[in-house]
Amino acid sequence: MTTAQLIQGNEACALGAVAAGCRFYGGYPITPSSEIAEFMARRLPEIGGVFVQMEDEMASLAAAIGASVAGMKSMTATSGPGFSLMQEHIGYATMAEIPCVVVNVMRGGPSTGLPTSPAQGDVMQARWGTHGDHPAIVLAPASVGEVFDLTVRAFNLAERLRMPVIVLYDEVIGHTRESVTLPEAVDSWERSAPSAPPDGFLPKAAGPDGVPTFPAFGEGYRFHITGLTHDERGLPTSEGPTAGALLERIHAKVDRATDDIVAVERFLLDDAEVAFFAYGVVARAAKAAVMQARERGLRVGLLRPISLWPFPTEAVAAAAGTVERLIVAEMNLGQMTHEVERAAAGATTVARHLRADGEPITPEELLDLVATPVSGRPVPGGTS
């Protein structure tokens, strides 16, 4: 029988990884994600897994990629500066189609920034940080329980689609402790093994879902792994049609799964005249503001993206078609605002409330916005 436990967000991430079958962690300590590494360093050896502290964040993700090729579900965790260093290997894992999970517990930036303060400044980097045309899956939990659930989901999506998946939350979520009842078991996706014999194996020949099978290194299948564009044999090629087809397939496998990946929370939107668009810790403040506004007789709702990428375009468009104003609240200088404006397509007024000073947005700030139109240019630490 399961019982409630008082768990920290970063601990929930580690617990979710272990429950999903993660048995390798390559990492480097960095505030505010270090508790994930500390937990995995204790837990993985107890269950036959491997923890390795690498010399830096680039090596950490490289080690996780190597462990995945050897057949282990693998992950790493970091924060903004380390996430910047990992971008080349995120692109490599995307092109080579190697499943892994990268957790980014966001803090203030740029550069060293505000190491112990929350922020949401890595949203666009999570989508476009590595170069080239590539898909991305980014999940954004807003509670300790959801950190657990979405970490499990990240592993399942990574294994199912053979790609890196990013779990993105902020320092407040990472260090918050909440009472959570964890499941005794979770659904776990296992990567597909090849049905062809080794002498007829094409490592990058995809099935109907656009995802190639993936034998573990050492199981008798010979295959070449490269970040270069390559053919179905996995061998490098610069032939235009083959290179183009590869990139289109890598995108298409995510496009096919978009309806399953995209997730949003709609809170009191049915009759809302004004709605907030918020994620992570800001969504918690927005939900509190909505409830207080409702007590005052104001028709206010919340649209919370649980998956940031692929972006929930249809959900935003639907909300924009029913509200008079959509307020984007985030702890940066407007990284998601333009996406919301694009999806809203002029159907409603899109306003913004932004902070980039290391302080969380409060329910009181958001409640004040409900009765006060906002417009103009974004400014640090306040309404625009």
219-270: pLDDT as tens digits:
899 999 999 999 999 999 999 999 999 999 999 999 999 999 999 999 999 9
Contact 329, 341 (CB under 8 A): no
Confidence at residue 372, expressed as pLDDT on a 0 to 100 scale? 63
Percent of the chain at pLDDT exceeding 70: 96
81-132: pLDDT as tens digits:
999 999 999 999 999 999 999 999 999 999 999 999 999 999 999 999 999 9
Confidence at residue 193, expressed as pLDDT on a 0 to 100 scale? 87
Check pLDDT > 50 for residue 380.
no
166-189: pLDDT as tens digits:
999 999 999 999 999 999 999 999
Confidence at residue 2, expressed as pLDDT on a 0 to 100 scale? 73
Check pLDDT > 70 for residue 378.
no
- Model confidence at 371, in pLDDT bands (50, 70, 90)? confident
User: Domains along the chain?
Assistant: 4-181 (3.40.50.970), 198-259 (no CATH), 265-383 (3.40.50.920)
Confidence at residue 196, expressed as pLDDT on a 0 to 100 scale? 86
Q: Which residues, including other chains, have CB under 8 Å from residue 100's CB and lie 6 or more apart?
A: 61, 64, 65, 68, 74, 75, 76, 93, 158, 164, 165
| Paired tokens of 44 | 């993985």
Question: Amino acid identity, residue 259?
Answer: D
Query: How far apart, in Å, are the Cα atoms of 127 and each of 121, 141, 152, 196, 221?
Result: 12, 16, 20, 35, 33
Check pLDDT > 60 for residue 377.
no
Check pLDDT > 60 for residue 379.
no
Average pLDDT over residues 321-334: 97
29-72: pLDDT as tens digits:
999 999 999 999 999 999 999 999 999 999 999 999 999 999 99
